[in-house]
Each structure stands twice: as structure tokens, then as C-alpha cells.
Amino acid sequence: MAHAVAVESLSAPAAQDTSSNATQCVPSCVNQYRSLSGIVLSCLTTVFLCVWVSLHLNIPEPMNTRDLGHLNRIKIQTKIFVRCRVVPILVTLMVPEWALGMAALQFCKANQLANKLATTRQQAFFILMGGFHLFKRSKEASLYGIREKNREGSQPLAGESALEASLPSNKTINAVEEDFGEPLHPLDEFDICHLIKSGKLCLPTPAELQDKCKSDGLAKFLVLVQVLWFITQCIGRKVSGLPLTELEVITLGYTLLTVAMYIAWWDKPYQVTFPVRVYETLPERTDGQDDGDANLRNTKGIPMFHSGYKDHRAESVGRTIMFTVGTLFGTIHFLAWFSPFPSSRMQFLWRFATIVVTVVPPAMIVVAGLTLLVHRLFGVLLVYIPILYLVGRGITIVMAFKGLAHLPPDAYRDVEWSDFFPHI
């Protein structure tokens, strides 16, 4: 379509020129326009790359697949991939402000833990994301460990690497054949602090954590370039008076939120798939010892967006962050408020959805506060208001893709970057 617009605009003068001049003029003018496929591909690629790179999720539940067949391994790996990658991506696409709120909570908790243990924020993030997991040895391995301790005596592990936590000095058994053991539960802040103070555990060094990360500097650089280029294009189109498509407006909102998530998770290890195994006896634990921290002894694995808190005060802070970011995210949709729509009905739906996604987050704060006074009435609203928000989000997404079939000619025009720079 962009090629057709360009050729049509040049048809009149081209009829009077020679064929050679027309052949030289058409390509230069076509370059001033962009295609529909280019718009869609640029938006979808930017959203996917931003979400994929920004999500620094917790470590999944460890599973021993050594004795399983190839088919069972593929099934388990597929389930893990869907639960730990596909589902979080879909959640982030539906409620990016909630994911950003969880990232902000994890950042605050990592700062507190780093100050408490006098460690780096990266090491604190590794603890909170389930970096250490308690395992139970098999009978054979337990008997071997007892014999070694009786022979050589028990030695503290403060001088050993955390990746060798509580492993007996093995002189006769091949480390590859060592029994995997039974995973019990991830170690939370309380258990980690106890093991560190008792000299039974040493945190991984920054070099060891960097080795466990699967981040690629080149990939991050390419994503950063893509994001900056997309934001620059949006700013250039607004300055030049060219319209932004609704899909570009939504993509801009996702881009800004995912960049904020990436900043909050900057020090968090990326895509660590297996924790450090710990074989130790933990002390008894009472409810008063939690001090507002989550107790993970009854769970097999940490949820992908677990923040490390369990008290209501932290939850209220997370909700406030989420609702505030949600309001800012909805405000971005006002950039398409005066955009040309193919019909007045589509324009009304877009404006209605924009108001909904902008007003609902602060309204949730008010309703949540009133629920404490009148539980029955406002408790019902707390159920239906999020549904209204999801409806508004759905309308904006549907209108963004439906509007691509009726874009105005100026939407295909590219930014004349030469207008922004003085001619020499």
C-alpha cells in the first residue's frame, strides 16, 4: 500500500518526464514511506524483545531427570518452559503494571537483605529467587557422609564455595555418579541467615553468580538499540505532526514499563534454572521468628513473581506501586485520543477504554480503603473493577489491530530526519 501511495503521488509528473528520470525518482520517494507489514513487525518485535529480556524470574522447582527416558524428559522440560516462561510472558502482557510492582518489591527486599547480611544486591537477589534449595540425601549417601565425618571430623564450610555446600569430601566416589537426593523446599531468608551465621554456608561470589547467569551482552545491546530507535521514532512522528498508530501507542506503553522492570531487576541473575543444593539440618521455626518474611518450608518451589514478603504492609506498598504505574500506563493511550479512526464507534471505544485503564487503578486504591469500612458493598466492587480493567485492555488491543486496516495516508509516511538537522 505504501508503494501504491508513493507511485500515485508521482504519476502526474512522471508522465511528462522520460522513463529514465522516473525510474530514478520512484525509489527515492518510496523510501519516504513505510509499509503496513513493517509497522506491525516493528511493534511486535519490540514488545516481545522487551518482555523477554526484562523478565528476571525466580528459579523453578528442581527436578531430577537423569533416570528418565528422552520422551519423559521432553515432557518435563516442556512443562517447565510453559510454566516458567510462557505463562509469565502472558501475565506481563496482560498486566505489565503488576509485574513492575513485583519487580519493585523484589528490589526493595533485596536492598534490605543486602544491608542485613553486608552482601551485594546481586547475592541478595540470588537468595530471594530461590538460589538455595534444601535436599535430602538417600540412605547410601547419608551413611557415606557419616563415615567421612567420623573419620575426618566435621569442618565448617565458611571457606568453601557455596556450590559445594555440605558435600562430603569424596575420595572414592565419582562426583558424576553422586546421588541427586530428594528436593525438599527452597531456603528463605531466615534459613539462609541461620546457615551463614553458623558457618555452614557461604554465598556465591559475584563471579560464580555471573557464570550461572545466561545473559548475553550482545543481545541486551541489540534490544536496547531497538527500544531507543522505536522511542525516537515515536517522538519524531509527534514532532513532525505525523500520526501514531494505535498499535504503536500500545507498544510505547509496554516499552516504557519493561524498561522500568529491567532497571529494577538490573542486579538480579538472569535465567538461572537450577539452585545450589544444600544438605543440612535446619532449626525449629516458630511464627514469631518470621519477622514479616515469607516461610517457604511448605512449598516445593518459589512462584515466578515471589517478592519475599508476606506481611500486609508490603502488599499494600506493592499495590500502590502497581496502581500508580497502571495510571501512567493508561495515560500513554491518550496519545491516540485525536487520531483519525475509520468510524466514530471505534473512536468512542478507544476513548472509553483509555479512560477505563487510566481511572481504574487509582479507583482501586479508593475502593480498597473503603472496603475496610463497608466490607460488603465495596468488597463486591473489588471483584468487578479488575474485570472492567481487563475489558478496557482488551478493547485497546482489539482496536489497535482492527485500526490497521483503515490507516490514513500520513500514517505510512516516514519521518524526514533531515528536517531535524541543519543542512551544511
Which tens digits make up the pLDDT trace of 312-370?
555 666 677 778 888 888 899 999 898 888 889 999 999 999 999 998 888 877 776 67
Instruction: Please give the sequence-ordered ranges of beta strands (E in DSSP) within 141-242, or none if there are none.
Output: 182-186
CA atoms of 183 and 137, how far apart (whole Å): 9
The predicted structure's pLDDT at residue 345: 92
Across the chain, mean pLDDT equals: 77
User: Domain for residue 276, yes or no?
Assistant: yes
Beta bridge partners of 183: 135
Measure Cα distances from 386 to 318, 370, 382 in Å: 16, 16, 7
The predicted structure's pLDDT at residue 348: 94
DSSP code per residue over 330-354? HHHGGGGTTS--SSHHHHHHHHHHH
User: Domain for residue 396, yes or no?
Assistant: no
User: Domain for residue 357, yes or no?
Assistant: no
What predicted TM-score, i.e. pTM, was given to this entire model?
0.75
CB atoms within 10 A of CB 179: 15
Confidence of residue 53 (pLDDT cuts 50, 70, 90): confident
User: Domain for residue 397, yes or no?
Assistant: no
The predicted structure's pLDDT at residue 374: 63
User: Domain for residue 279, yes or no?
Assistant: yes
Which region among 36-45, 56-65, 361-370, 406-415 has the lowest average model confidence (pLDDT)? Answer: 361-370
Work out how many domains the chain is built from and give that number: 1
| Stronger pLDDT, 149 or 117, i.e. the higher one | 117
The predicted structure's pLDDT at residue 334: 92
Mean pLDDT of 382-386: 77
CA atoms of 3 and 272, how far apart (whole Å): 47
| Stronger pLDDT, 302 or 399, i.e. the higher one | 399
Domain of 164, in residue numbers = 37-308+322-333
In this structure, the chain runs to a length of 424
User: Domain for residue 110, yes or no?
Assistant: yes
Q: Smallest Cα–Cα separation from 254: which of 219, 221, 230?
A: 230
The predicted structure's pLDDT at residue 144: 47
User: Domain for residue 380, yes or no?
Assistant: no
pLDDT in tens, 174-213: 444 456 677 888 888 888 888 888 888 888 888 888 888 8
Per-residue pLDDT at 147 exceeds 50: no
Per-residue pLDDT at 169 exceeds 50: no
User: Domain for residue 386, yes or no?
Assistant: no
Per-residue pLDDT at 223 exceeds 90: no
